[in-house]
Amino acid sequence: MSWEAWAPHLKQTQSGFEAANECGIYSLQGDPWYSSNEQLSAKTIKDLREMFSSTCDMSSVEFRETKYFKIRVDENIARFKHATKGGLVVGLGNECIIIAECGTESSLLSNSVVSVEYVLTQLNNTQISQ
């Protein structure tokens, strides 16, 4: 599914909720793998780390032993969410889509670089240890 095609599809999930209104990890078909009202399991965290460490369709860089990935902030996705201070950040990989709230003010139309740990922390709302 292309970048342009999946955004409208996210608005309808099996649960009937608009997926883009929640932080979460979604399949490319828009089905939720995880949402912000659940706890991430250790296996899920491990799988996500492995996915980001492998070659995927997401620009990434490692700096001082921390993996960062470049995510595209999509104007259409931002419109799905009620106005927040930072808006939504959206990461598109080969296997999944990650949506998280950005904790700082930024242009919703610019690209951002965010660490995997930051996104996982935003999703889990807890500090994730190495």
Distance (Å, rounded) from C-alpha 104 to C-alpha 85? 7
pLDDT, averaged across the chain: 57
pLDDT higher than 60, residue 18: no
CA neighbours closer than 13 Å in the CB half-sphere of residue 71: 29
Q: Is the pTM of this model over 0.85?
A: no
Amino acid identity, position 4: E
Q: Distance of CA 19 to CAs 13, 28, 77, 83, 113, Å? A: 6, 12, 10, 16, 22
Q: What is the pLDDT of residues 39-50, one digit of tens each?
A: 667 776 677 666
Residue among 69, 42, 57 at smallest CA distance from 130: 42
Q: What is the pLDDT of residues 115-127, one digit of tens each?
A: 666 666 666 544 3
Angle at 69 between CA 95 and CA 84, to 5 degrees: 95
| Residue 37, pLDDT score | 56
Contact 18, 11 (CB under 8 A): yes
Distance (Å, rounded) from C-alpha 59 to C-alpha 11? 25
Distance (Å, rounded) from C-alpha 107 to C-alpha 105? 7
